[in-house]
Structure 1
Amino acid sequence: MKRLFTLVFLLLTVAAIAKPPKNQYVKISTAYGDCIIRLYNETPRHRDNFVKLTKQGFYNGTLFHRVIQNFMIQGGDPDSRDTSKNKAGKELGNGDVKYTIPAEFKDSIFHKRGVLAAARDNNPEKASSGCQFYIVEGKRFTDEDLDKLIASRMQGRAIPASQREIYKTVGGVPHLDQGYTVYGEVVTGIDMVDRIAAVKKDLSDRPLQNVAMTVTLLKKGDCKSLDKLLGLDKKS
């Protein structure tokens, strides 16, 4: 009986160790610092696509080619790796991977400061670019600001009270909600976003000095540690 108990205990221990983390995390590294992003399980198509491209090394060497302070920083254009196009003054933002991703809008997921979201062209389905993304820097709003924004840019669509409070205290870009798919958020290193958003740029919002990135997947052990640190390890 004692041996059976020991065997069962060992099997349970091995199963616990082998159990995958609840969430996948990626690290974006630049000359302006690093940030770690948790990819949302609620948006599986966008999550899996970003993981796939990251495993392929797709983003390594691409640029943050469009930055607007108090708004967002955008990158992931494959053309930005091309030295004939990544010179200052050249227009970027039109490169793609020849496919789009269906929109994955969730009422509980919104454009608060630090979220990762998919860029897209103007299409009726609001399908996302297969590769280009942005990270929200955003700004804080007052109740009056939000009311004006709802009337002028959100077709009267209400902002839930809980989200409204976050837009007032943490910040974000509420007028993009339900228009662009949000699929992750910065958990450490938001100052990297602030530094990049503040760089000098040209009239097309392109940084005068190239801001290249490297994107890597965190290992299982690191993902588990972050889940535990963020209190997400026991959530289903």
Structure 2
Amino acid sequence: MHTYILTIVLLLFTSSSFAQRHRLAFHTEFGVFKVFLYDFTPAHRDLFLRAIETDVYKDALFNRIIENFVVQGGEHDIDIEKREAIDPEKKKPRLAPEFDARAYHKLGALGAGRDNNAAKASFLNQIYFVVGKPISDAELTALEQKKGIIYTEQQRNSYLTNGGQPRLDYDFTVFGEVYEGLEVLLDISKVKTDTADFPLKQIHFYVEEIAHAK
């Protein structure tokens, strides 16, 4: 099993990934997994780094878990809606999307959550990781035609070999990916949840930056 996961990580972690400067460690009771942030999605990268500096993710929760789909953490949709509903100025702060052909919803991708806003803008303090599901060649081809996407050979191989969530591409911003400890994330994705996808036991995490190459 561990050999299989290592193979997946090696397939995901391409040579271009080494150029990304910011690397993070997510600490959980299940273990540690490591992530790098994409420099080609700078607004989301910098927002997340500021959130770490201001302790937004010092004692956060993975609060929505759907096996074969995503592990979501940070501020929950329900809490965001409640907070914004009582705001006298009715502000709904969001971050404009950053779609890049190099950022896609492969296994281990880090994305920014959002609501149904037409601009596809991201919540400020909600993230998710793709744990995905198997994808067929026919499904990918249909999505390309529907969304006007042309996947590279490498991207197609990643989806077909390891799965993911390509239907989210160009609808949610992807701004990083797991490069070590993928098995930890997959273990978290299998915990028992209630009918609203809340884990039956709270899963805390905190994030720290472990590398910053200038």
Same fold (TM over 0.5): yes
In the TM superposition, residue 115 of structure 1 has moved relative to its aligned partner by 0.9
In the alignment, which residue of structure 1 is the partner of 2:179?
187
In the alignment, which residue of structure 2 is the partner of 1:119?
113
In the alignment, which residue of structure 2 is the partner of 1:196?
188
In the alignment, which residue of structure 2 is the partner of 1:88?
none
In the TM superposition, residue 59 of structure 1 has moved relative to its aligned partner by 1.0
- Which residue type is aligned with residue 100 of structure 1? R
Distance 1:108 1:202 in 2: 35
| Length-normalised TM-score, structure 1 | 0.72
Unpaired stretches in structure 1, ≥5 consecutive residues: 1-20, 80-90, 225-232
Distance 2:62 2:175 in 1: 18
Is 1:170 equivalent to 2:162 in the alignment? Answer: yes
Distance 1:24 1:96, change over 3 A: farther
In the alignment, which residue of structure 2 is the partner of 1:45?
43
Q: Map residues 26-105 of structure 1 onto 2, 5 A cutoff.
A: 26-77=24-75, 94=81, 99-105=93-99
Q: What SS is found at the alignment partner of 1:116?
A: strand
Unpaired stretches in structure 2, ≥5 consecutive residues: 1-18, 85-91
In the alignment, which residue of structure 2 is the partner of 1:143?
137
The answer to whether the 8 A contact 2:63-2:76 is kept is no
The answer to whether the 8 A contact 1:96-1:130 is kept is no
In the alignment, which residue of structure 2 is the partner of 1:214?
206
% identical aligned pairs: 36
Distance 2:44 2:38 in 1: 9
Distance 2:38 2:29 in 1: 26
| Structure ID, larger Rg | 1
Distance 2:20 2:143 in 1: 36
Query: Aligned Cα RMSD in Å?
Result: 2.5
Q: What SS is found at the alignment partner of 1:49?
A: helix
In the TM superposition, residue 94 of structure 1 has moved relative to its aligned partner by 4.2
Distance 2:127 2:82 in 1: 12
- Which residue type is aligned with residue 111 of structure 1? H
| Length-normalised TM-score, structure 2 | 0.79
In the alignment, which residue of structure 2 is the partner of 1:23?
21
Distance 1:181 1:52, change over 3 A: same
Distance 1:160 1:128, change over 3 A: same
The answer to whether the 8 A contact 1:67-1:205 is kept is yes
Aligned pair count reads 189
